[in-house]
Amino acid sequence: MFRAIPKFIVFAFVLFLYMIVSLCIYALCLFKINRARPFLTVLVSYVSRAALAIIGINVVQKNVTSQIPDHSMIVSNHLSYMDVFIISSKFPTCFVTSVEMKNTFFLGHLCMLGGCLFVDRKNRRKIHKEVKELTMALKHKLNVVVFPEATSTDGAHVYPFKPPMLQAAIDAHAEILPLCLNYRKLDGEIVSKKNHELVFWFGDKPFFEHALALFAKKRIEVELSVLDVVEAKNFATKSELAVHIHDLIQSHYQNIT
């Protein structure tokens, strides 16, 4: 645990600078989130690279596709809060997360300062409005990240995708860039059932307790597979689209067994 303390101090300093710069960006954009988001995505990308270096996460990007679009809806499996740093370090983007996360102490503030889009998964009456907001972000040529599993998981497999938010890609005639995250090694040891709880965040594990254990690790190796682009307009329904992308990501994911 002694290794975690200096990491936490440096990480906290970086987050402090991030919050100050984010507030300045908001102020310069007259506190209009749509104006601020393009700048915030770039800021978060730089902060994410710094965070990965501090924590000791090495990301190997494996491109399956021959062409990566300038902007798209990015869809990925979800295993840890580290996923945000990993994806953002490679693609300046705004993330779609839950209202519950928005209301979570500290994490919610970081999400709001980063220009996240929030959805209330428990209130189906708001879906149309939320999909419209995502659609507008895509039409404004922003990368938008969606985790359709709707929660971080234990990594046993890629859990079924919930389709509602994918409707935004269909409405915006956007390209979808599927990503597959595989956490390979933890301090040189293959990630398995024995140690996956140290990096995967799921269930009711308290965030700060989990983060402290994660920061105590020296090196984490992650593979980020960038898969073939999917044209949302080629699918009649969001459910068909969800199944197709799920199967594509699952085919590149190594189940934790």
Domain boundaries, the chain: 4-250
DSSP helix/strand/coil, 207: helix
Residue 38 has pLDDT above 90, yes or no: yes
Identify the pLDDT of residue 22: 96
Residue located via tokens 């197709």: 244
Across 161-170, average pLDDT: 95
The answer for residues whose C-beta is within 8 angstroms of residue 133's C-beta and 6 or more apart is 117
φ/ψ bin of 143: left (φ > 0), alpha (ψ from -120 to 50), beta (otherwise): beta
Identify the pLDDT of residue 205: 83
Identify the pLDDT of residue 49: 97
Dihedral (CA of 55, 49, 99, 20) sign: positive
Identify the pLDDT of residue 95: 93
Q: Which of 239, 243, 235 is nearest to 174 (CA)?
A: 235
For a pLDDT cut of 90, what percent of the chain falls above it? 74
Distance (Å, whole) CA 138 – CA 99: 20
Give the number of other Cβ atoms within 10 Å of residue 45's Cβ.
18
User: Against a cut of 0.85, is the pTM above it?
Assistant: yes
Dihedral (CA of 66, 69, 70, 74) sign: negative
Please count the residues of the chain: 257
Identify the pLDDT of residue 99: 81
Distance (Å, whole) CA 212 – CA 200: 13
Instruction: Report the CATH number of the 4-250 domain.
Output: 3.40.1130
Distance (Å, whole) CA 6 – CA 15: 14
The pLDDT confidence band at residue 32, using thresholds 50, 70 and 90, is very high
Residue 171 has pLDDT above 70, yes or no: yes
Side chain identity, residue 250: Q
How confident is the prediction for the chain on average, in pLDDT? 92
47-62 in b/e form (b: 16+ CB < 10 A) is bbebbbebbbbebeee
Residue 2 has pLDDT above 80, yes or no: no
Distance (Å, whole) CA 98 – CA 29: 25
Residue located via tokens 């980063």: 114
